[in-house]
């Protein structure tokens, strides 16, 4: 008999080597979720092995398939498939309706829960506080509209995804599983953004405000992707995000982490070092940019645009 310690229930139960963890839990009246009845279809019986992973049986073929689909880390196991041959401590993971919703989202959306290597681009815009929001809210809306329009277009062109925005801050991801040369893509996109920002700032100065300051940083790192709602794009979280946000401290400047620089070493034009960790300002790239992903929409003439706007105002289309 082995001892199975169960969290958060704070119970320890005796378990024999021929029964699954699910059988042991249920026989001791611990109401562990098991929506598919132990068929390795639903994953609602998942548990986190806190201690004693070496005493757990190897995953069955069915468990392997489901764990691969959901990108389970090795310490997350299906209770309906796992037996133990020594003392083990687990934490039950699906405890209420909200947990079930998350499982549902993962199964239907095919979203894994493992850490993933992503290239992160952080763009933080400062200086909006000089705008006269009370008397001229249109100025703020118009300038920010121009900025986000350019941001979206440039990021799409290089195959990135705007994963989250908060106020004037944006976090963009480039996924190596979807595109090649992802650090190049992020750096080229950031340099294009700096150029676009110069155009936006010309307009800002015409309106008699102080120029806005865009701080940019690129870092390839591990992140866990979490979708806040079933329809929203996954949002990266974790150390990689903290690192990239910490690098973007200088106005009108792109800073790239050492991990990023190592991937573009022979084609990057470097500026000054930033801090002591080896991050450096990047002022340009040599050679051809990566292949564009989204075709830039054909530019309509001003006359064509005006005529299209008039149609919308007059006929609502």
**Bridge partners of 14?**
3
Closest CA to 158 of 186, 134, 177: 186
- Report CA 101 to chain centroid distance, whole Å: 20
Provide the minimum distance between the beta carbon of 17 and ligand FES in the complex, in angstroms, as a whole number.
19
**Bridge partners of 47?**
77, 92
Residue (33 or 201) nearer to ligand FES, CB: 33
Provide the minimum distance between the beta carbon of 78 and ligand FES in the complex, in angstroms, as a whole number.
5
Binding site for ligand FES (CB under 6 A): 34-36, 38-45, 78, 80
C-alpha–C-alpha distance, residues 254 and 248, integer Å: 7
C-alpha–C-alpha distance, residues 203 and 199, integer Å: 7
Question: Cβ distance 217 to 255 under 8 Å?
Answer: yes
Provide the minimum distance between the beta carbon of 18 and ligand FES in the complex, in angstroms, as a whole number.
17
**Bridge partners of 288?**
none
First to last CA, the chain: 73
Residue (104 or 175) nearer to ligand FES, CB: 104
Provide the minimum distance between the beta carbon of 21 and ligand FES in the complex, in angstroms, as a whole number.
10
Provide the minimum distance between the beta carbon of 47 and ligand FES in the complex, in angstroms, as a whole number.
10
Residue (40 or 223) nearer to ligand FES, CB: 40
Question: Cβ distance 138 to 146 under 8 Å?
Answer: no
Length of the chain: 317
Residue (43 or 173) nearer to ligand FES, CB: 43
Residue (40 or 241) nearer to ligand FES, CB: 40
């Amino acid at each position: 008999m082995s001892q199975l310690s169960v969290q958060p229930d704070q119970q320890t139960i005796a378990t024999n080597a021929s029964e699954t963890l699910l059988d042991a839990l249920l026989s001791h009246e611990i109401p562990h979720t098991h929506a598919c009845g132990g068929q390795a279809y639903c994953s609602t019986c998942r548990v986190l092995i806190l201690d004693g992973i070496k005493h757990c049986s190897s995953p069955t073929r069915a468990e392997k398939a489901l764990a691969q689909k959901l990108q389970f880390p090795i310490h997350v196991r299906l209770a309906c498939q796992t037996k133990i041959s020594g003392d083990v401590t687990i934490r039950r993971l699906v405890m209420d309706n909200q947990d079930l919703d998350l499982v549902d989202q993962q199964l239907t959306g095919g979203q894994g829960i493992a850490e993933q290597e992503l290239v992160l681009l952080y763009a933080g815009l400062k200086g909006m506080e000089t705008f006269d929001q009370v008397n001229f809210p249109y100025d703020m809306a118009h300038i920010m509209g121009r900025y986000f329009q350019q941001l979206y277009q440039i990021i799409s062109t290089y195959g990135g995804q705007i994963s989250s925005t908060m106020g004037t801050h944006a976090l963009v991801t480039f996924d190596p599983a979807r595109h090649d040369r992802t650090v190049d893509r992020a750096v080229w996109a950031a340099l294009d953004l700096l150029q676009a920002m110069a155009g936006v700032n010309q307009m800002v100065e015409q309106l008699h405000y102080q120029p806005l300051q865009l701080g940019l940083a690129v870092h390839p790192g591990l992140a866990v992707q979490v979708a806040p709602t079933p329809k929203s794009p996954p949002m990266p979280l974790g150390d990689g995000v903290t690192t990239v946000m910490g690098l973007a401290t200088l106005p009108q400047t792109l800073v790239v982490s050492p991990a990023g620089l190592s991937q573009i070493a022979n084609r990057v034009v470097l500026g000054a070092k930033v801090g002591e960790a080896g991050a450096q300002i990047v002022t340009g790239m040599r050679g051809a940019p990566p292949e564009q992903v989204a075709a830039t929409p054909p530019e309509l003439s001003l006359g064509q645009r005006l005529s299209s706007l008039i149609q919308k105002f007059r006929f609502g289309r």
